[in-house]
Chain A
Amino acid sequence: MIKKLVSVITAALTAFVITAVPASAWSAGIEDRANLYSAEEITHLEARQEEVAILTGWNIAVITTDVGFGLDGVNAADYAEKYCYDKFGDDPDSVVYLIDLDYRWISMDGDVLNYFNSSRFDTMMDTCEECYQDYNDVENLEFFYHYLEYYYNEGTVEYDPSIGALGDDFEGAIEYYDDDSTIDLTVVFGGFIAGIIGAAISIGVVLARYKTHTAPSANAYLNRSTVNMYNNNDYFVREYTTRTRIESSSSGGGSRSGGSRRSGGRSRGGGGRGGRR
């Protein structure tokens, strides 16, 4: 009886531990290749990183580089993806923050994506970027951990294909791992409309060619050597100048790219900011 009670309690505790602290959660620490942080700062930040990793059950890694990935973010994204895979292998629930002098990139995978839509991601990325641009490197990471923790506590976001959780608002896909990826219906609809317009134009061209006579121009009978242009004058009449304000669409020097969200299975998402400080 006692043995049975012990085994039940053990099982319950095991279940609790498994639920409360995911076994896979692992803080991979900070790999400071760009020497942005002192040893004390790294100790402080890694402790905070581990705290968030235990809370969320996500693998978290930070890497700083001075590679200079370029401002389009493509290479930075690839690097972050590879780094994430090297650190965490096939474990899907992970987030990597790459801080490069040219580009900052946050790569998310698995369950992490359920907690971020474009709005949340932008808030986090913008705050971190502001700190980076102000040389507040410690605050940069503190905010990164803060938002991971905060949005985890806020709960998951509902997937809305029209607005997009993480991804549909982001420009530029990174990669897909599964076949049941969502399709941008706007593009499909655009193709459908283009097809209808193309068909209408083609029908018009066919009918015009089949239903009308085409006669050669009278200039087929013109003796070109006899053309005597005896009046060929252009007079300037007046001039005016207009000035129109250009609406700026840029957000101040940075650029961004991002990932995409899946409807099931595994995918990866993320985004970043470019620009050298």
Chain B
Amino acid sequence: MDNLLQLKCPNCGAAIGFNAASQLFICEFCNSDFTEAEINLANGREAELASSEGVSLSKEEPAPDTTEFADHTNLYLCESCGAEIVADENTAATFCHYCHGTVTLKGRVSGALQPELIIPFKIDKAMAETTFKNWCKKKWFLPKSFSSQGQLEKMVGLYVPFWLADCEVDASAEYDAKKVHSYRSGDYRITNTKIYSASRAAKMEYRGIPADGSRKLEDALMDAVEPFNYSEFVPFSMNYFSGFYADKYDVDKGEAINRIKQRMTDGAMQVLRQSVSGYTSVTSKGSRLRIMKTKWHYSMLPVWFMTYMYSGKKYFFAINGQTGKIAGIIPVSVGKLIFMALCFVLGFTLIGLIGGAAL
């Protein structure tokens, strides 16, 4: 049975949220701050208290419905204000649109669906916006009006479900290699070519290769915000969801392994290829990668998502909520491209003019 979890301030009872900058839970009403342990302790008591007083925290069971909407959404009641909250089947944490309190759907992140690890947000919303604006300033080919006239339509902090795989792999490859030696003898150029066959095989271990477990998110965009600093992993706690959205995975390990295997194959072949040295040219004849052993870690990683409106078109960006790395496709100013092309053509022509006159 799914339950709602809404963290409350131990002092005043108002909804509180996690502050990425201070790494503490902050109450905006009474200006108190709390560690995760303090929150656990206090909210555990509150939960017990609530239970003893018979206050229902249970979700309202979704009524059977034949429509697609009903098949993929669930209806919950906010425990603070009683408002109805609609969430899709993969939402693990969301907000009440009336009291703005964070609502964690515990059933989506508990039991078999409970993540093992989480990296808490280190970049807060203001910092993410500043990071994005500074990033835009460095993009010379970005239309000037993009930063000034564009509208930050939506910015949300989302804990993205990630599968991290520790894999032991056995990779092998075969190569054709050539050594070419050329020298002059009288009026002739003598070219001696020696052909070799090279074979390489190695066992190696990858640690924590990530693949996002959300079908809604573009894989390439999620790959591009990597890497995360795994040394800052902490054991999962739903408390970190406060103030942010969260999803549960809808891409299982079986699907994720295909992406991970492809990435490992590319990486392992690079390692093998680098060991074939001392040749003029090397051509791959074939390669193979076997995964010997895999250990999975279901984790939640912090990402800021931005939707930016410019010239009637939406641009999507993702910012690594831990490192601040930005990924996204941005528009290019045609005018600036033409200007650059003209500079090249005129510059080289001028050099030709000077060179031509000097000859």
Binding site for B on A (CB under 8 A): 173, 181, 183-192, 194-196, 198-200, 202-203, 206-207, 210-223, 226-246, 248, 260
Contacts and interface: CB of A to CB of B under 8 A. Distances in A.
B53 interface: no
A187 B356 contact: yes
Contacts of B355: 184, 187-188, 191
B348 A194 contact: yes
A236 B184 CA distance: 25
Nearest to A235: B197
Given A218-B266, A235-B197, A243-B190, A227 B204 contact: yes
Contacts of A219: 267, 270-271
Contact of B201 (A173, A194, A229): A229
Interface stretch (B13-21, B86-94, B220-228, B299-307): B220-228
Using C-beta atoms within 8 Å of the partner chain, give the interface range for chain B.
35 or more
Interface in B280-328: 327-328
Nearest to A167: B359
The majority secondary structure among interface residues of chain A is mixed
B77 to A, nearest CB: 40
B350 interface: yes
B330 interface: yes
A232 B224 CA distance: 34
Interface in B14-44: none
11 contacts: A188-B356, A191-B350, A195-B345, A198-B348, A202-B344, A211-B329, A231-B172, A236-B194, A238-B195, A241-B193, A245-B189
Contact of A241 (B187, B191, B329): B191
Nearest to A228: B203
Nearest to B353: A188
Nearest to B172: A231
A64 B38 CA distance: 104
A234 B199 CA distance: 6
Contact of A226 (B205, B210, B331): B205
B341 A239 contact: no
A39 to B, nearest CB: 44
B337 interface: yes
Contact of A232 (B196, B200, B227, B351): B200
B348 A192 contact: yes
Contacts of A190: 352
A132 to B, nearest CB: 27
B28 to A, nearest CB: 36
B97 interface: no
Contact of A222 (B177, B190, B204): B204
Given A211-B332, A234-B198, A245 B356 contact: no
A251 to B, nearest CB: 16
Contact of A206 (B141, B188, B199, B209): B141
B209 A218 contact: yes
A212 B197 CA distance: 37
B347 interface: yes
Given A221-B209, A241-B191, A213 B221 contact: yes
A199 B344 contact: yes
Nearest to A181: B357
B81 interface: no
A207 B340 CA distance: 13
Nearest to A170: B359
B208 interface: yes
Nearest to A243: B188
B275 to A, nearest CB: 6
Nearest to B276: A234
B347 A195 contact: yes
Q: Which of B139, B201, B275 has the most C-beta atoms of chain A within 10 angstroms of its own C-beta?
A: B201
Given A232-B200, A234-B196, A218 B267 contact: yes
A221 B207 contact: yes
Contacts of A186: 356
Minimum-distance CB pairs A-B, first 3: A191-B352, A195-B348, A218-B267
A246 B220 contact: no
B206 A241 contact: no
